[in-house]
Chains A and B, each alone.
Chain A
Amino acid sequence: MNMHRTPSQGLKPTADKAYSDAARIGNDTGADVAPTDNVTAEPIDRLLYRNPNLWRGCDLAGQGNHGRSTGFPQLDAILPGQGWPSKGLMEIITPHWGMGELQLLVPLMRSVVEQGQWILWISPPYLLYAPALVQAGINTEQVLVVKLDTSCKDALWSMEKALQTENCGLVLAWQNWLPSKVLRRLQLAADTGNTLGVLFKHHDSEHSPSPIRLKIKDSPVSQGFNEADITVIKARGNFRPLTTRLKLYQHARQPA
């Protein structure tokens, strides 16, 4: 019994372990850099950032480069991997439609199309307007729309199948209330198909299993037409919600 207890006592919570590892590495490298007592928080951060061997377990925002760039440097800076994940499920929450939620994805759509993959829009709430896509530089040949009045069940079924299809690069769907079982299933499909699925919603659900949840906030009229506050509510690897202000409509021709 003793033999068993000793190793289990030795195991500490992962965060502690990470910190202790960090301390060890810091000791190894920091011995000849500076004495520890008069170092402020900022140089330590810098030092930690600089060391590529170091995994900072609690906060990956702006770390690594495994993501696909969002086209917005401020947003890249607060996303793990400096960009959108290459596969998986993403939720974008807007209280109303037409708050720039698609503008957020325009650079991504463009790169998806350039790679010869397809963008599938599963029963969008309104007509998708081709001239606007052309203005945004997205080739309409690679865009397919599943008809508007598809029932929720069929739309989810199509989304799952689309996510499993390898040459669909991006699957967009508009669904409000989905149980987490369904979301997990979609997440699994996205992982098998190596596809990125985006769900647009009006309401946030706290316990959603999607790896990334973003929210576009209501902004006062006093704010510029282009600007919007984006909150990354959750991102796999991020420790806390982060907010940034973006100029959303920079990719389309701007209204003066």
Chain B
Amino acid sequence: MEDPDSSKQLPLLAHSARIVALPRPVARVAAVVPESAAPVTTLKASPSLWYALVFPQLAEQTPSRQQQILEQLAGLAQAVSATISFHPHALVCEVRSSLNYFGGIEVIHDRIKSTLSEQLIACGLSGDFLYSASPTVSGSLLLARSGQNCLVYRHENLRSALGQLPTSVLELNKEQNRRLYNMGIRYLRDIWRLPGDGLRKRFGSDFVNLLHKALGSAPEPTRNYLPPPAFLTSYDLPYEVELVERILPVADEMLAQLCDFLRRRDLSASHLVFSLSHEKRSSTKIAIGLRQPSRSREHLSMLLETHIANLSVPAPIVAVSLEVKKFDAFMSHSDHLLLDNGAVKPGYTDRHLDTFIEQLQARLGGNPVKSIATVAEHCPEYACEQRDYNESGTRGGIRRTADNPVASNPRPLWLLSEPVQLVVRNGKLYHRKPITLVNGPERIETRWWSDGDIRRDYYVAREDNGSRLWIFREKTGAQHWYLHGFFA
């Protein structure tokens, strides 16, 4: 069998002007440029060129992190290629179609090298990576993995270029490696001397398939990178608008476009930002967050109106733009089949309430709605907790704490956030009117382990004007009386 190696490749190395060596110091230039043939014919011969980027440093990361980093890198690699596929610790981009545009693989490499390195360093990894280009996906990966950062333009040269690689690049298991070693096979070119049937019997069809793929004689299905959806639209107003309400028709049109976009992609949006641009000023942003992702135009425009209702702009508006910050999969709402059945408890879904709370947030800002829960605590101030209704899992959390034991003695519905000191005049307690003690004392001694040591005697009392009070007397210090709550 004739060795395809070197016979054609080596002489070509002499044409140094023709060698496209990728600029990397450790690179061993192993492959080679087309001969004087015109690039057009080369294109015909091999319709695609795959540029493989291997990131060996990813091996230490968890699979989900690997995928996350690869997604980010693929986003950057989109600058040079439209077809990017994922492989273990590697990305492969199709660059033949953009070769002419960029003016060569070197330019392409220069273009993405620094951005990829920066991204890798930002992820806390080393910025180096291995790369190669060849007419097949697996071939490029094998070449890149071997650390020979080389370029093979032509399909005919692929076999020889791959032949020089050690068998370790195939990433076989231990047993297969041992067998290959025992057979005296160190390089891929040794494998190519062996008969295909025998190889299939000894190493399985996966092994043979891999070699076929690398040589371009078997199809190579790939999982391609799909860029995440993005929606950004803007509209320059024909004249300056001073009243914010005037942008509503424009915004409504944008929302209609957005809803159309979402419906086509089976998505819904959960965070949008409207920007109102001004002349010579930074733009006003209106962020709309949704409690439940939506793609209903009425819902979104209702929220926008609420936001706009108490918004003032520093300058006239010249342009409006809408951007979606967060997409979610569309989840449709299903009704009960037996809704009319009288036995079914009226299904109060939280949807209306969610809409209401969204509106409230839009109007009041922040998290205006709180839910309350009891806490197993002796100290009255700490026995009640206010939480943001928004917090995910809030309701589950409360469900758990709902069983918290509460004090058996009466507790007031109103609690003062800060106890109010009462005055004693002529041996009588006064708040606004004289106070008579009704019931007590209930001693609460707690928190001695912290700075706020609490020793109090609580009484139920009644003011002369009819208010029912919850008052206490400090057992420490000056023994002042305080008002702490109302039995409303």
User: Max chain B CB contacts within 10 Å: which of A101, A161, A256?
Assistant: A161
Chain B 429-488 residues near chain A, CB threshold 8 A: 432, 436, 438-439, 460, 462-469, 485-488
Chain A 201-256 residues near chain B, CB threshold 8 A: 216-219, 221, 225, 228, 249, 252-256
| Chain B nearest CB, measured from A144 CB (Å) | 5
| Chain A nearest CB, measured from B486 CB (Å) | 3
Are the CB atoms of B465 and A95 closer together than 8 Å? yes
Are the CB atoms of A134 and B374 closer together than 8 Å? yes
B13: A residues at CB distance < 8 A: none
Chain A 117-167 residues near chain B, CB threshold 8 A: 117-118, 124-136, 139-141, 143-147, 150, 154, 157-158, 161-162, 165-167
Flag whether B173 is at the interface (Cβ < 8 A). no
Are the CB atoms of B356 and A99 closer together than 8 Å? no
Flag whether A115 is at the interface (Cβ < 8 A). yes
Flag whether B383 is at the interface (Cβ < 8 A). yes
Are the CB atoms of B411 and A129 closer together than 8 Å? yes
Contact of A140 among B359, B373, B407, B438 (CB under 8 A): B373
Q: Which of B69-77, B84-92, B344-352 contacts A (4 or more CB under 8 A)?
A: B344-352
B414: A residues at CB distance < 8 A: 97-98, 124-129
Are the CB atoms of B410 and A141 closer together than 8 Å? no
Known: A97-B488, A255-B460. A129 touches B384 (CB 8 A): yes
B465: A residues at CB distance < 8 A: 95-96, 218
A144: B residues at CB distance < 8 A: 369-371, 389
When chains A and B are docked, how far (Å) is the Cα of A132 from the Cα of B374? 9
When chains A and B are docked, how far (Å) is the Cα of A158 from the Cα of B368? 10
User: Max chain A CB contacts within 10 Å: which of B352, B460, B486?
Assistant: B486
Flag whether A111 is at the interface (Cβ < 8 A). no
Contact of A130 among B383, B389, B439, B462 (CB under 8 A): B383
* Nearest A residue (CB) for B467: A98
Flag whether B406 is at the interface (Cβ < 8 A). yes
B467: A residues at CB distance < 8 A: 96-99
Contact residues of B: prevailing secondary structure: mixed
When chains A and B are docked, how far (Å) is the Cα of A162 from the Cα of B353? 8
Flag whether B286 is at the interface (Cβ < 8 A). no
* Nearest B residue (CB) for A158: B360
| Chain A nearest CB, measured from B312 CB (Å) | 15
| Chain A nearest CB, measured from B359 CB (Å) | 6
Are the CB atoms of B439 and A256 closer together than 8 Å? yes
Contact residues of A: prevailing secondary structure: loop
Are the CB atoms of B399 and A141 closer together than 8 Å? yes
Are the CB atoms of A140 and B348 closer together than 8 Å? no
Interface string of B393-419 (1 = CB under 8 A from A): 001001100100011111111111100
When chains A and B are docked, how far (Å) is the Cα of A136 from the Cα of B432? 28
Known: A134-B374, A144-B371. A98 touches B352 (CB 8 A): no
* Nearest B residue (CB) for A216: B466
B488: A residues at CB distance < 8 A: 97-103
Count, chain A residues at interface, CB 8 A:
57
Flag whether A116 is at the interface (Cβ < 8 A). yes
Are the CB atoms of A161 and B368 closer together than 8 Å? no
Contact of B438 among A101, A218, A255 (CB under 8 A): A255
When chains A and B are docked, how far (Å) is the Cα of A157 from the Cα of B363? 9
Chain B 378-395 residues near chain A, CB threshold 8 A: 380, 383-386, 389, 395
Flag whether A75 is at the interface (Cβ < 8 A). no
Flag whether B226 is at the interface (Cβ < 8 A). no
* Nearest A residue (CB) for B350: A167
A99: B residues at CB distance < 8 A: 466-468, 488
When chains A and B are docked, how far (Å) is the Cα of A219 from the Cα of B348? 41
A170: B residues at CB distance < 8 A: none
Are the CB atoms of A127 and B466 closer together than 8 Å? no
Flag whether B364 is at the interface (Cβ < 8 A). yes
When chains A and B are docked, how far (Å) is the Cα of A161 from the Cα of B350? 15
Interface string of B311-350 (1 = CB under 8 A from A): 0000000000000000000000000000000000110111
B395: A residues at CB distance < 8 A: 141
Flag whether B232 is at the interface (Cβ < 8 A). no
Are the CB atoms of A143 and B372 closer together than 8 Å? yes
| Chain B nearest CB, measured from A130 CB (Å) | 4
User: Max chain A CB contacts within 10 Å: which of B372, B386, B398?
Assistant: B372
When chains A and B are docked, how far (Å) is the Cα of A225 from the Cα of B439? 10
Flag whether A168 is at the interface (Cβ < 8 A). yes
* Nearest A residue (CB) for B483: A98
A256: B residues at CB distance < 8 A: 439
Interchain Cβ contacts under 8 Å between A and B, 6 examples: A95-B465, A131-B383, A131-B384, A167-B348, A221-B462, A249-B487
Contacts from A to B (Cβ < 8 Å): 95-103, 115-118, 124-136, 139-141, 143-147, 150, 154, 157-158, 161-162, 165-168, 216-219, 221, 225, 228, 249, 252-256
Q: What 5 pairs across the A-B complex have the smallest Cβ distances?
A: A98-B486, A255-B439, A126-B414, A98-B467, A131-B406
